[in-house]
């Protein structure tokens, strides 16, 4: 049982549960940042639709029995669409490491 108890920094082992890999991997960091950008665009798009009341959408959602559920479903669809679009665009713009 040879352990180095003096070292406080852990090296990533490559297992799926290691938070060090997620924190320091530049590709995952870039994808996470682009996903957040896509979520922001989706929130702005849903907010714009509700603010402008396009085709009576705001009235339709607010007059529902559970407006939070309707709004969450609309927002999830936009987040999947815009988040995936932004991540896909970012991945296609990556350059080869060769």
pTM of the predicted model over 0.75: no
Q: What is the pLDDT of residues 49-64, one digit of tens each?
A: 999 999 999 999 999 9
CB 89 within 8 A of CB 53: no
**Mean pLDDT, range 73-87, rounded to an integer:** 96
Residue 23 scores a pLDDT above 70: no
Question: What CA–CA distances, in Å, run from 18 to 4, 9, 15, 30, 60?
Answer: 19, 13, 6, 18, 45
Q: Who's near 89: CB < 8 A, 6+ residues apart? A: 34
Residue 51's pLDDT is what?
Answer: 96
């Amino acid at each position: 049982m040879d352990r180095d108890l003096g070292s406080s920094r852990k090296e990533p082992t490559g297992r799926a549960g290691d938070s060090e890999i997620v924190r320091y991997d530049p590709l995952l960091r870039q994808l996470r940042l682009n996903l957040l950008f896509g979520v922001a665009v989706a929130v702005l798009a849903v907010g714009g639709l509700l603010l402008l009341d396009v085709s009576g959408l705001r009235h339709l959602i607010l007059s529902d029995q559970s407006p939070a559920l309707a709004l969450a479903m609309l927002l999830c669809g936009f987040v999947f669409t815009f988040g995936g679009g932004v991540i896909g665009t970012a991945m296609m713009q990556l350059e080869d490491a060769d």
